[in-house]
Amino acid sequence: MEVIRIKNITDYHRFRGLPKPEHPLISLVDYSQVKFPDDEKTTNIVMDFYSIALKRDIGAKLYYGQQVYDFDEGIMSFIAPGQVLRLEQDPDSLHKGAGYLLQIHPDFLWNSALAKNIKSYTFFDYSINEALFLSEKEENIIVNIFENIREEYHINIDRFTQDLIIAQIELLLKYCDRYYNRQFLTRKISSHQILSKVEEFLNNYFDDKNRDERNLLSVQTVADNMNVSSDYLSNLLKLHTGQNTQQHIHNKLIEKAKEKLSTTSLSISEIAYELGFEHLQSFSKLFKNKTNETPLKFRAKFN
């Protein structure tokens, strides 16, 4: 089945018949305004941004990380960039759905502590396939934070806007972390599937300061650590995410490069070497192909 890749928030708004977002890197959507064609029954989507949803009565099933997301009665869900989800509409449902959909592009977070810390919130992981259930009091707290975020980017944007919104996002995630810990005290979290294992391996690999930096991470190395053949792993990832193993490695390389460019004083050459590139030109070419910017131009935005 075809996988639809949505690269930015503006494209999502266009895809779902929503007005153009007021900010290109962050948007709070009224879910009742999201449009689904009458003939749309199943959609496989990969988005290149974070999606935090608070929904009610959506009349659909959400498949995430090859498992059914427990969403029939759930309230909140969390999707990380580059992860595949499949939405199956219930043709017999009379519910249009209501709630909020907060979309955050990773570039909005660069040059902030949250850019790195957001990965510590495990509810963005494929291995979590339960929606977050909220009490009425908890839901009111979350809704108030959503409204604060929307209010902040609705007013005139100034040099304080990004910091204030990120502070609200951090507050939102901390509350959700508390509520998930409460929810899972008596629940068993599903075992990791191969997609979550790949993501975990890539994160650990690039965070390991003792790894060999002389060579780029290879597809074969990832496959060996998954105990499968390289062809099988690439085909599996391609089927479920629309991208093969090499593309997943490149995406993680660019993510780590952006982190180092925006938060360290390392030279471009030092960053390239730490990521496994033998030649600076190869790193710069890949970065430009993936971001449409040179590493220097990207870093200049944070100086």
| Domain range annotation of the chain | 3-185, 208-300
Confidence of residue 170 (pLDDT cuts 50, 70, 90): very high
Q: Is 160 helix (H, G, I), strand (E, B) or coil?
A: coil
**Rounded-to-integer distance, Cα 150 and Cα 101, Å:** 11
- CATH number for the region 3-185 comes to 2.60.120
Give the Cβ contact number of residue 186 at 10 Å: 6
Identical fold at 3-185 and 208-300?
no
Confidence of residue 278 (pLDDT cuts 50, 70, 90): confident
pLDDT of residue 192: 46
Q: Give the rounded percent of residues in the chain with a pLDDT score beyond 70.
A: 83
Confidence of residue 92 (pLDDT cuts 50, 70, 90): low
**Rounded-to-integer distance, Cα 186 and Cα 14, Å:** 41
User: For residue range 27-84, what is the model confidence (pLDDT) as tens digits?
Assistant: 999 888 888 776 666 778 889 999 998 987 666 667 665 556 655 555 788 888 988 7
Topology of domain 208-300 in CATH is Arc Repressor Mutant, subunit A (1.10.10)
C-beta of residue 87 within 8 angstroms of C-beta of residue 243: no
Backbone phi and psi for residue 146, each to the nearest 5 degrees, phi listed first: -55, -45
pTM score? 0.68
**Window from 90-99, 192-201, 267-276 with minimum mean pLDDT:** 90-99
